Amino acid sequence: MTMRKAVNNLMLALCGLCAFLTVSSLFLILGYLIYNGGKSVNLDFFTKLPLAPGEAGGGMANAILGSAEVVLLASIVGLPVGFFAGVYLAEFGSKTFSFVVRYTADLLNGIPSIVIGIFAWTVIVVPMHHFSALAGGLALSLMLIPITTRSTEQFLLEVPRSMREGALALGANKWRTIATVIVPAARKGIMTGMILGIARISGETAPLLFTSLNNQFWSTGLSEPTATLPVMIFTHAVAPYDDWHRQAWAAGLVLLALVLLANIAARMVISRGVSLPK
Amino acid sequence: MATSSAAHPAKLAKRRFGGDEVAYCFTLLFAVSILVITVFLVWELWVHSSPARGKFGLGFLTSSLWNPVTDQFGALPFIYGTVITSALALLIAVPLGVGAAIYLSELAPPRLSNTLTFLVELLAAVPSVIFGLLAIFTLIPLMREYFEPALQSVFGSLPLFSGHIYGVGYLTAGVILAIMTFPFIISVSREALMAVPREQREAALALGATKWESTYDAVLPFARLGILGSVFLALARALGETMAVTMVIGNDPKIHASLFAPGYTIAAVIANEFTEASGDTYLSSLVELGLVLFALTMIINGLAQLLIVLTTKKGSAKA
């Protein structure tokens, strides 16, 4: 009996230890990044261009703008496609065809981001003959589409049946019911899914490596190679210069802060939105 | 047109307003676009890898020679690196993740459990390049100075733990992948455990089992498919993970017996060499590597989805 109790206590303690270790890694990451990045983030980081190795100072203003540009482009393409495909799955789809689309969306979501990068390279960079923000944005939109589709579908399906029936009983036809009752009811959830999707793609590096490439200067248009924060972190971190490492830490802190803030904001919205009557 | 509509007055009403059908066709278009994109993606990979496929055939998968100068390309070192780093990651992440999931679903009070799960989900949102950045400046020195010498002093006689210690290499990549994948294992396993009906636990406890015995003998077997699904999901993530691995793997296109040796993975070699690749054979070999990676992750992901679907159905049916 005491043996069984001892085993019980030991195993439960081990499980607790696992939980402690895994959760504490988040704080280690945050703490170390704030410690190192905090020393390097200053006004210059947000307003100046990167300097050549060896020169102290400089910033990543072009990469911040470039990231915003690429993510905005991805959102403009990816969010509507994902949203309407999600509406189809939740409201119109036949059983078999929906299954196929749903399964394909999950497959697309599971494709390694580097492979998405190759695809964007073959369809945009090769025909245009040079790297561009456009190719980067498109690559990211391909990652955003399945995320948006699945979350939109999920939140639409959570709208209570009685609301649909009420609208239909009042004589609204199906699309009017969807547009004026169901989608507004699921609005919070859908927005949350979209924000989480955007947060996820803003940190992606691999699809941008050979689509939007990188740029030490301001990019002059969508068809130009464009600097982005994640790619800048990569190139600066693997380079052998201390100054560049400091810039990489600063960029890492800024990127992580943005991504985590978006996540926390979105998840707070979700947890307030679940008060929907079932 | 008019006569056939007149025969079905109900259909006529629908057609005249057309709203539903327009909405149906409009959304269908976007749903179909997902299929088209996916098929097109596979097609593009297939077409752009054709020079390499024509030149090397199936030998591409079994050759371990990677020499851009002589235009000789083989995928084996990269496949080996990808598989070994992912296996190491699972070896570390599965016990940690399942243990943490058990704590979160069985032991922790609901409030604490929700808070910790929230933090774990935040961890899953950390971009992979940030893991790489941290790994370069913290994990690599730690591995080089402490963990790997310690392992070597105990297991040094095994080829796996012999040889020079660099800090970068298979083991370091495995550790960083483990940290990146356990959030997936935790959140999916926790869901699976929480879907286990209460009666399962109560019956075991009523028979005199301790908390651990009830968890191990009654709850875990019930959730095993879901947990297995989470492991496959984590495996698919680990196989396709690019940036963090690229930053710590050491970039050596050879197969080494030692886990301390620098290696290469499929995703890492594409990330490093794609923009520098000159010549058709070189480029298309890299694209073919992408195709191999795509196939690997698709198989694993498909299995994961299937397992997760199976358990959630089973769980909800019995609950």
- Which pLDDT belongs to residue B216? 93
Mean pLDDT, residues B17-21? 76
The pLDDT score that the predictor gives to residue A56 is: 78
- Gap from A196 CA to chain B (nearest CA, Å): 9
Residues 6+ apart with CB under 8 A from A181: A159, A163, A164, A166, A167, A172
What average pLDDT does this structure show over A68-96? 94
CA A28 to chain centre: 22
Chain B CB contacts of A256 below 8 Å: 126-127, 130
Q: Is residue B274 part of a domain?
A: yes
The answer on B239 and B184 residing in a single domain is yes
Q: Are A191 and A125 in contact (CB under 8 A)?
A: no
Domain coverage including residue B6: 2-48
Where residue B235 falls among pLDDT bands split at 50, 70, 90?
very high
Is the confidence at residue B154, as pLDDT, over 60?
yes
Q: pTM of this prediction?
A: 0.90
pLDDT reported for residue A199: 94
How many domains does chain B contain in total? 2
CATH number at residue B213: 1.10.3720.10
Q: Say yes or no: A1 contacts chain B, CB-CB below 8 A.
A: no
More confident residue, A138 or B5: A138
**Residue B180 Cα distances to A27, A45, A198, B193, B227, angstroms:** 14, 28, 19, 21, 17
Residues in B touching A240 (Cβ below 8 Å): none
Contact A173 B19 (CB under 8 A): yes
> Which of A104, A122, A196 comes nearest B35 by C-beta?
A104
Task: Please give the pLDDT value at position B17.
Answer: 56
Answer yes or no: do B179 and B36 share one domain. no
Regarding whether B70 and B43 lie in a shared domain, the answer is: no
- Look up residue A92 and give its two tokens: 């119109």
Residue A251, strand partner residues: none
For chain A, what is the mean pLDDT? 90
Residues B231 and B306 in one domain: yes
Does the structure show a pLDDT above 60 at A278?
Answer: no
Q: Tell me A92's DSSP state.
A: I
- Does residue A274 register a pLDDT over 70? no
Encode B195-210: b = buried (16+ Cβ within 10 Å), e = exposed. Answer: bbeeebbeebeeeebb
Tell me the average pLDDT across B259-270: 94
Q: What is the pLDDT of residues A209-257, one digit of tens each?
A: 999 988 888 888 888 899 999 999 999 999 998 889 999 999 999 999 9
pLDDT band for position B304 (50/70/90)? confident
A23–B107 C-beta distance less than 8 A: no
Residue B219 domain-assigned?
yes
The structural domains of chain A, ordered by start, are 43-273 (1.10.3720.10)
Name the strand (E) or helix (H) holding B66. strand B66-67
Chain B residue with minimum CA distance to A268? B118
Q: Is the pLDDT of residue A275 over 60?
A: no
B53 domain residue, yes or no:
no
User: Are both B97 and B40 inside the same structural domain?
Assistant: no
Question: Does residue B10 form part of some domain?
Answer: yes
Do B33 and B158 lie in a common domain?
Answer: no
Q: Is the pLDDT of residue B204 over 90?
A: yes
Please judge whether A203 and B240 are an interchain contact, meaning their C-beta atoms are less than 8 angstroms apart.
Answer: no
Same domain, B63 and B40: no
Statement to judge: residues B13 and B102 lie in one domain: no
**Are B44 and B69 found together in one domain?**
no
Domain presence at residue B168: yes
Could you tell me if residue B265 is inside a domain?
Answer: yes
The percent of residues in chain A predicted with pLDDT above 90, rounded, is: 68
Please tell me whether residues B258 and B181 are part of one structural domain.
yes
What percentage of residues in chain B have a pLDDT greater than 70? 92
Sign of CA dihedral B267, B268, B273, B279: negative
Averaged confidence pLDDT in chain B: 88
If pLDDT is split at 50, 70 and 90, which confidence band does A120 have?
A: very high
Predicted pLDDT of residue A51: 84
pLDDT band at B313; cut points 50, 70, 90: low
What pairing do the DSSP bridges indicate for beta strands B66-67 and B72-73?
antiparallel
Across the range A135-160, mean pLDDT stands at 94
Helix axes of B170-194 and B280-318: crossing angle, nearest 10 degrees: 30
pLDDT of residue B240: 92
